[in-house]
Amino acid sequence: MKLIVGLGNPGSRYNNTRHNVGFAMLDRYTAAQEITWREQAKFHAVAARTAIAGETIIFAKPTTYYNDCGITARALIDFYKLSRDDLLVIHDDIVLDFGKVRIRRGGQDAGNNGLKSLYRHIGQTFWHVRIGADNLRRRQIGDVDFVLSEFNRDEAQILAEWTAPTVARIIDQFIAGAISATSYRLP
């Protein structure tokens, strides 16, 4: 069994924001697989469960808000008795250039409050996909406003045409047990 958690904030006002790119990547992946979501209050999440390549996969989008996502991960890991190696987290990274995707196991939180919550609740030894969100605008408006801002049209196109397929391949590698630490950048 594998658990894949996308980070973001619940509610339509956060759709298309940088902080919700984890939700967006899971939405795209599960839509392509025709997987349906449902509210799972006991896990503080909207979740979906399916089988892919003979493996049971649980997808989750925390309803706790980004900065408390560790509560969701802890509840799911404890309930399903999963190891940290069975967890993949997908999130934005504002210190990573837009157009870059990095896979890591463990590592520093780089100021990311979602990672801080996860580290506090479950430790650091899990796989995560960092999706670069940084650009010049971040230095103009500050980090808080930046993560809650929407991607511009060009960035949204890159997310749809390059980032989402790249993340889908990473999810498939994780499910197959073939994930490794690496970085991808726009061609």
Which residues are designated catalytic? 19
Binding residues: 14, 65, 67, 113
Q: Alpha carbon of 62 to those of 44, 47, 146: distances in Å?
A: 6, 8, 21
Q: How far apart are CA 91 and CA 57, in angstroms?
A: 18
Q: How far apart are CA 41 and CA 33, in angstroms?
A: 24
Binding residues for tRNA: 14, 65, 67, 113
**Three-state secondary-structure class, residue 116:** helix
Q: How far apart are CA 29 and CA 75, in angstroms?
A: 23
H/E stretch holding 33 reads none
